[in-house]
Each structure stands twice: as C-alpha cells, then as structure tokens.
Structure 1
Amino acid sequence: MSTRLLIVLLSLALGVVSGAFGYSLIAGKRQAAALAAAREEGRKAAEKAMADDMAALKPVSFAKTADAESKAGGVQFGYEYVKPKNAELEPYYKLAHDTDMLRHIPEVQAIDGMLMLPRPINYVTAECGEVNAFYSPERNEVVMCYETMKVLEQRGRELAAHNKLPDTYAQQYLDANFRFILLHETGHALITLLEIPITGREEDAVDQLATTLMLRFAGLNESTSTVTENLRMASNWFLARSTGEYNLDAYADQHALGEQRYFNLQCLLYGSDPARYLSIVTDGDLPESRAQGCPEESRRISSSWLRLLLPYVAPKYEMTEEKANRLFKQREIERVRNTDSSYIR
C-alpha cells in the first residue's frame, strides 16, 4: 500500500472518529438538556401537588350566616347495647345498658351531629370472645367488648386495694378507660370515613385525637382534677398491659410500646396548660427533658386535628379555626365556673 493511500485512509478514519465523538458530545448535551427539562417539569409538578395537598390542610373559613338554625346539621350517631350469651358478662351489659354509657361520653356527644360523614358511626357494646375494642369499617361500628370492661374493672379493683383507694375507684377507672378507648376507635372511624391524611402511625394519631377531645370537650361539670385523673387512668392502662420485656414483634407492632404511649399522653396533657398541670412534671410522671417541648407539641397536634376536621363541620355549625378556639376557651371557662360554683342542699 502506497504512503499516499495510507494517509488518505487514516484521514478518513480520523474524520469518522471525530464526527462520532462530536455527535456524541452534541447528543450528550441534548440528552442532558432534556433530562434537566424533565427534572424541572417534575419538580414543578411535585411542588404543585404538594401545594394542593397543603392547601387542603389549611383551615377553612366558613361564612357566618344568620340562618344557621335552618341549615343542615351533621350525621347523627347510632347506639346499641347487644345482650351477651355468656352469663358472666351480663353485669357489664346491664351496667352499659342501664346507665346508657355510650350516650354519656361527653366528647362523643359533642361531635354527634356536628360532622358531615358519608354514613353514621354506630357505637356498640357486645360480647366479642376476647378482650378487645375496635372499629369495623365494613359495618361502620365502634365496638367496646364486655370482656374489656370486665378486665378494666378488675384492674381498677386491684389498684384500689393496693393503694387503699375508695371503693368507687374501680368504676371511675372503668369509665375513664371506656371513654378513652372509644375515642381512640372513633379516631380510626373518622380517618377512614373522611379519608383524612395521616403521616406516621395511625395508632399514634388516634391516641392524640382521643387526648385532644378529652381536653377540649370534657363535661361542663368536670373539674380540672377530674380531667387530669381520667387521662392518668387511661395512661395507666397502657402501663398495665406492658411487660417491660419486648421481642421483635412488639417493636414492629403498629402500636407504640405501652411506656411510649404513656409518656406521649402525659406530654399532651402537660403541654395543654403547663401551669395547671405542673404536678405531672414535679411528681415525676414526665421527665423535664421531654416536658420542655410539650407545649409546642400539644399546640401543634391540637391545631392539626382542628384543621383536619373543620372542613367537614356541618353548615349548621360552620366556623373558622379562630372561632373554634374561642368556643373551646369559653367552654373551658364555663366548665371551671360550674365546678367551682357552690349551691344550697
């Protein structure tokens, strides 16, 4: 092969390689530009989706109307006491039925008929064959089992005997936990029915709702000490069911450990009014290191649940978050005044 021909072939080869390299650079730049554009579009879409989601969580301001009484109310709850087949559970059926326990939960009565639900929540006491309480999405029922009532009463009697408390303590313990547990299950019902967005464990969220409701909607005849004692008895039940020794299943469970649920409840109670509930810290029920952040934690949780539920308040009760907080404050003032008022017997 002549030298001239070799030079020509090498020149052609170099041209092909250079062209391919140049094309790859151009293609690479185009690909990078396209990728950057796609990322930018994706970022904008994600930001818009997030903005839409956050907008749904903002407090909804409803116009105040003068004809509120003529406007639609919310969905009414149902209540039922199912007679047990097990004779040992008959006393708990009679207790629930004869005293109408379900209708005497102040927090449930406060929201009964207030929310626009797709269908009613039915509260039921029944024999279950096990110690349990649950929300059934299929039947839309919040169920308290007589077996649970029996165990709660027994636990109350044990505490009363151990601490030399009045005989009435067992019933108070049962009532307080009956109340908290049903409010906990009500939280599951509301999350399901209203498709409320929850981040984190749902069990933690409904514990927070139950505590918030007991703080916000305590009976007007209940003193601060009564509210505190009710929540403390509820938190005691968390500890009563804890062994202190856990396996992998316990750590993986959808519920937090009993000790964690106990301190979370104490934190929300203390944080709702640090001056009023200071004894929770001074008595050693809540470490100071945790207590420091509880006021903000309690405020944030209470505000979050209020914002999540306000959009579903029936037209008859429509209100802004500001108005709701004023009503809660007024209710608290009235409750304190009622419990401190004297009368002649």
Structure 2
Amino acid sequence: MSKVLRVLGVICGLSLAFSAQAAVINQFIEPQTRQEVQAYRLIKTIEPQIQQLYLALPMQAKLTVVYGAQDGPLFDPELMQIQVPYHFVSEVLNRFTKDDYQKTGVTPKQATKDALLHTLGHEYGHAYIYANEIIVLGREEDAVDTLATLLLINAFEEGAEIALSAADLFALEDEEIEELVEDDFSNEHSLDAQRYHATLCLIYGSEPAKYAALLADSLQREDRAVMCEQEYERQSDNWDRLTSSDLTQ
C-alpha cells in the first residue's frame, strides 16, 4: 500500500492548513470512476470543516491525509498518513441512501459528510496519540472514538448533531450483521452496537435536555442518564487537560 502511494504521481488537489503548532496536508489522488468523482467532490465541499476539526487539537507533527488510497480508513504511523479510500465514502453514502436517511431531516449526503468528519477525527486521534506518545490504558480504538466525538463537539457549534449522524452509521452497520462470530468479539474495535451507544451517551451527556429522547428507549433510562452525564463530564475534563497540556505547545 505505501509503495503505491509513493509512486502515484497524479494528485488533483493539494491544500495546506497551518497553525502555530501543526501542518496538515491533504492530498487527493485523481478519481477514475463516476463514483470516485462523486466521493471526491463530496470531500472537497467540507475541506474547511476538516481543517477546523484538526485545529481544535493541533499537534507539532506533520501529517498527510491521502484521499483515494486503496485501503482504509486507517492511520499509517510509518508514513504519518491518514488514508481514506474513495470507495469508503461511496459505501457510506449508499448506506445512508438505502436507509432513506432523509426521513430524519438530514440528507444522505450531509450524513455522509458528518460520518466522514467523525472518521477523520478517529484516525487523527490515532495520529495524535502516536505523535505525542500518549499512554492509553485500554483499547485505543475506544479512546479515539471518544476523542472523535469530543473533537466534533468542541470544534463545531452543532458538533453533537454531526456526531449523531456518525452514531447512526454504527447502528446501520450493526443492522447488517446477521450473526456474531468469534472474530467480532476479538476485533480491535468494539461492536458497532457498542460504538453506537457509547457515542449516543456522550451526545446526551453534552446537552441532556436537548437530547433526552436519545435515551427514551432505554430500560434503565434514569441510571443511564446519570452515567452518561458523568461520563461526558469526565471526558470533558480529560479534554480540557489534554488541550491545556504542553503537548500542543
């Protein structure tokens, strides 16, 4: 994979976003099919939001984000690259479209953009942990899921709404699983259903009054509500400590 990215000479887009601490370079490999062109155009429409996301938690290390990669989404620590295939964007768009997601009041294209921002926040979390040698006790995948949600909430005025689309994507992916097998439990990621509920919990905790309906179907609603508020407060404290530490200086 890395050899392919090194030799690909056709890059149809290059953008730089600099802060005092960080430089993130976006590279776009030339799309070849109609679906890839659609994915490319969708990504380009949210470039400002993507950069805003990274600047919410800048780091000193230089990072390249390659769109149109063959594998991913993933973070490659050797290359300091986030790799995002166009087909990933197309698959997410198809999933939201197939589910008639516009009935929620959010179009499939907007939901895809939202989910992509969460995915990029997730992979950026891996890069941040690696670049700053942050100790993570427990699953790093769970940690960067949390970080991605907090990034959205802190980077955007309606960041919780963006995270809600990402949570719904986890739910849709969970619906496609007919039967769990042993590999599902040993996977580095939590189950999609778990990722869905963990994201909802943080969203609810960020504004309990606004998002009360998210827990309406829970059998232990009161206990869960208290737990989610506490979890959000705890993770927000962690966020404040992270952004105020010398890691970003």
TM-score (norm 2): 0.81
Q: Does the alignment pair 1:145 with 2:74?
A: no
Which residue pairs with 1:291 in the alignment?
225
Q: How many residues align?
A: 226
In the aligned structure 2, how far is the partner of 1:182 from the partner of 1:286?
A: 33
Aligned to 2:167: 235
What residue identity is the alignment partner of 2:53? Answer: E
Which residue in the other structure is 1:202 paired with? 140
Partners of 1:103 and 1:109 within 8 A in 2: no
Work out which of the residue numbers 163, 184, 199 in structure 2 matches 1:250. 184
- Check if 1:79 corresponds to 2:26: yes
Query: Shift of the alpha carbon at 1:299?
Result: 1.2
Structure 1 unmatched ranges of 5 or more:
1-71, 315-345
2:102 corresponds to 1:186: no
TM-superposed CA distance for 1:216, in Å, is 1.4
Q: 1:79 to 1:190 in 2, by over 3 A?
A: same
- Partner of 2:99, secondary structure, is helix
The correspondence for 1:273, drawn from 204, 207, 210, is 207
SS across alignment from 1:241: helix
Rate the CA distance shift 1:137–1:251 in 2: closer, same or farther, 3 A.
Answer: same
Amino acid at match of 1:147: H
Greater helix fraction, Structure 1 or Structure 2 = 1
State the 1:286 CA deviation: 8.4
Question: Who is 1:134 aligned against?
Answer: 74
**Residues 25-65 of structure 1, C-alpha deviations (whole Å, 9 max, x = no match):** xxxxxxxxxxxxxxxxxxxxxxxxxxxxxxxxxxxxxxxxx
Q: Relative to 1, partners in 2 of residues 1:159 and 1:110: Cα closer, same or farther, differing over 3 Å?
A: same
Q: CA deviation at 1:95?
A: 3.3
Q: Give the corresponding residue for 2:48.
A: 103
Query: Offset at 1:258?
Result: 0.7
Cα shift at 1:253: 0.9
CA gap of 1:143–1:245, structure 2 versus 1, over 3 A, is: same
The amino acid across from 2:79 in the alignment is R
Distance in 1 of aligned mates of 2:23 and 2:35: 32
| Relative contact order higher in (CA < 8 Å, ≥ 6 apart) | 1
8 Å Cα contact 1:92-1:150 kept in structure 2: yes
* Stretches of structure 2 lacking an aligned partner (at least 5 in a row): 1-18
- RMSD (Å) for aligned C-alpha atoms: 2.3
Q: Deviations over 1:155-175 (max 9, x none)?
A: 1212227x6467x70111111
CA distance in structure 2 between the aligned counterparts of 1:109 and 1:308, rounded to whole angstroms: 14
1:120 aligns with 2:62: yes
State the SS of the aligned residue for 2:66. strand
CA contact (8 A) 2:164 2:203 kept: no
List per-residue Cα deviations over 1:299-341 (Å, max 9, x = no partner): 1122223323422122xxxxxxxxxxxxxxxxxxxxxxxxxxx
Instruction: Name the SS for the 2:21 alignment partner.
Output: coil
Measured at CA, do residues 87 and 266 of structure 1 come closer, stay the same or move farther in structure 2, by a change above 3 Å? closer
Percent of residue pairs identical: 28
Per the TM alignment, residue 77 of structure 1 is displaced from its structure 2 partner at its CA by 1.4
> Aligned equivalents of 2:178 and 2:142: distance in 1?
20
Secondary structure of 1:307 counterpart = helix
1:164–1:302 Cα change, 3 Å: closer
In 2, Cα distance between equivalents of 1:187 and 1:263: 20
Q: Distance in 1 between matches of 2:55 and 2:203?
A: 21
Residue 37 of structure 2 aligns to which amino acid in structure 1? E
Specify the structure having the higher radius of gyration (Cα). Answer: 1
- Tell me if the contact between 1:239 and 1:258 (Cα under 8 Å) persists in the aligned partners: yes
Paired amino acid for 1:312: L
Indicate if the aligned counterparts of 1:79 and 1:103 stay in contact, CA closer than 8 A. no
Show structure 1 runs of 4+ deviating over 6 A.
none
CA distance in 1, matches of 2:27, 2:124: 15
The 1-side partners of 2:47 and 2:230 are apart by 33
Residues 286 and 153 (structure 1 numbering): CA distance in 2 closer, same or farther, change over 3 Å?
farther
- 1:133 and 1:148 in contact (8 A); partners too: yes
Q: In the aligned structure 2, how far is the partner of 1:92 from the partner of 1:150?
A: 6
Aligned 8 A contact 1:127 1:147 in 2: no
The DSSP-based 3-state class of the residue aligned with 1:77 is: strand
Q: What residue identity is the alignment partner of 1:300?
A: R
Amino acid at match of 1:81: F
